[in-house]
A = this chain, B = another copy of it.
Amino acid sequence: MAKRSKPEPSVFDETCSARHALELIAGKWPMLILSALAESPMRHGALMRRVGGVSQKMLTQTLRDLERNGLITRQDHQCVPPHVEYELSALGGTLAGALIELDRWAEHNFPQLDAARERFDAAQRRSKRRP
């Protein structure tokens, strides 16, 4: 292979913009909010109800980060009372498949994780009891 003056973008390289892109989505709040918006466009209040445990502040901040990076759009219908809706952008939509796959993975496999933790913790206790 010929020498390259510039390496390929890689999420493993902390100085690469690809890493920043991964970091933007690699968290429970962005992942859950994007998954929720993959179901349908939603208002702030509906997202608060859908994404269990998210705070007002965290939701507002995450929506802003996702909007700033072009993954969602904020539609202000400019009416009284205010009607603001968030939806996935075309770019955000390209993420939906992988995120939903991770959600389904978690919903399907959590019993195996729970069982593994029990086994691990029991083994730890046994090794501590050893003389």
Which A residues lie at the B interface, using CB under 8 A? Answer: 8-28, 31-32, 35-36, 50-53, 67-71, 91, 94-95, 97-99, 101-103, 105-107, 109-117, 119-121
Task: Give the shortest distance, in Å, between A110 (CB) and chain B (any CB).
Answer: 4
Instruction: Considering the complex, give the chain B residue whose CB is closest to the CB of A121.
Output: B68
A67, B36: Cβ atoms closer than 8 Å? no
On whether the beta carbons of A116 and B15 are closer than 8 Å, the reply is no
15 sample A-B contacts, Cβ–Cβ < 8 Å, listed by A number: A12-B51, A14-B52, A14-B53, A19-B28, A20-B110, A21-B105, A22-B28, A22-B102, A67-B120, A68-B120, A69-B113, A69-B117, A70-B112, A70-B113, A91-B113
Bound complex: CA of A68 vs CA of B112, how far in Å?
11
| Besides A69-B116, A70-B119, 4 new A-B residue pairs in contact (Cβ under 8 A), listed by A number | A9-B107, A15-B52, A27-B27, A98-B98
